[in-house]
Structure 1
Amino acid sequence: MSVAEPRRIVLFRHAKADWPQVTDHERPLAERGRMDAAVAGRKLADTHIPVDLALCSTSARTRETWKLAVQEFPHRPKTVYEERVYEASPGELIAVLNETPDDAQNVLLIGHNPGIQGLAEILAGSAEGDALERLSRRGFPAAAFAVLSFEGSWKSLEPGTATLRDYWAPSE
């Protein structure tokens, strides 16, 4: 696979979580979160992006979001549960993405705010249509996702090198 072909990153925030008496890492999805995760999965499948690799935070709510969303995909990509994605800053998330093998063309990253929104804003040096306006207006609510593309190797990914291609958030 040539590193000259555009790569895509799907940044996916976990769906709405519940607040039971457990540690933050172990918080499960709320009922609405379970519904929104499945809807987001269908919307992601509708993008027809052949995801090669999913990098998922190890928290219960991100794992549950991914389990429900990926059921809507035509094929299940390789999934890596990555501890460093939990509570990561945009810079830490870039470092994780920089380690992605170059044979992965399209990567989906399932994580948390404020890191996911910050990463989308930092990476997007440009945007198509009104995607950036919608992201700025809505923020990055639970179960939202953004699709970005860039050219080069994963090691070359840095702030401002990507184009925001799409943004979707569930209705409130």
Structure 2
Amino acid sequence: MKNLIVMRHAEAAFGYADHDRPLTDYGQSQARVMGSMLAQRFPVIDYVWVSDALRTRQTLAGLEVGGARFGQVQVSPDLYDGSHLDLVHCVHGSPPECAAVLIVAHEPGVSSVVSYLGDTSTPVTRTLMRGFSPATVGIAQMDFPWGAVEMGMLPVWEKLSTE
């Protein structure tokens, strides 16, 4: 069974150029807490796609401080303003042997990809497609190759939140 994990970055500060916005102290705490939650579920997340924005990279670092462990990490500038199709492209590009793939990106891409891949009639999918709060995670399981993921193929999502 494979797990797709989609996460919005933790809370970011204002007053900086958007791409260079750092996490707030609370955002750093959110990332550590979510890292602990993910570590309890996944001994190792095999592959990570992360936006090149400062706040997403700091979120990933905070996840590690919280106990999450990662295999390979791929920084992708396409995820900064990424649409749902950019996120799907990352899923398709994940190594076939990976059991767990994490994407750390931004709104509205993260909620849009859940809407695109999920069944919009299920309560959790509807909640996630309305928008991810900072440091929120959506998880979907599947039993087919990463390259086969298409619209509506991941009907059941689970939500993890630090709130």
Give the TM-score normalised by structure 1: 0.85
Amino acid across the alignment from 1:89:
S
How far residue 126 of structure 1 moved from its aligned partner, in angstroms, is 7.6
* Alignment equivalent of 1:35, drawn from 29, 32, 35: 29
* Alignment equivalent of 1:94, drawn from 78, 88, 96: 88
- Between Structure 1 and Structure 2, how many residues are aligned? 163
Question: Separation in 2 of the partners of 1:127 and 1:35?
Answer: 33
Question: Separation in 2 of the partners of 1:63 and 1:96?
Answer: 16
Partner SS state of residue 98, structure 2: coil
* Alignment equivalent of 2:137, drawn from 139, 145, 156: 145
**Structural RMSD (CA):** 2.1
Counterpart contact for 1:51–1:108, Cα < 8 Å: yes
Q: 1:45 matched to which residue of 2?
A: 39
Counterpart contact for 2:48–2:101, Cα < 8 Å: yes
Counterpart contact for 1:18–1:27, Cα < 8 Å: yes
How far residue 75 of structure 1 moved from its aligned partner, in angstroms, is 3.3
**Structure 1: tracts of 5 or more residues without a match:** 1-5
How far residue 55 of structure 1 moved from its aligned partner, in angstroms, is 0.8
Q: Deviations over 1:116-135 (max 9, x none)?
A: 0111122113898x633653
Q: 2:118 matched to which residue of 1?
A: 124
Give the TM-score normalised by structure 2: 0.89
Q: Deviations over 1:13-50 (max 9, x none)?
A: 10010012x32111101121111111111111122363
Question: Separation in 2 of the partners of 1:113 and 1:8?
Answer: 21
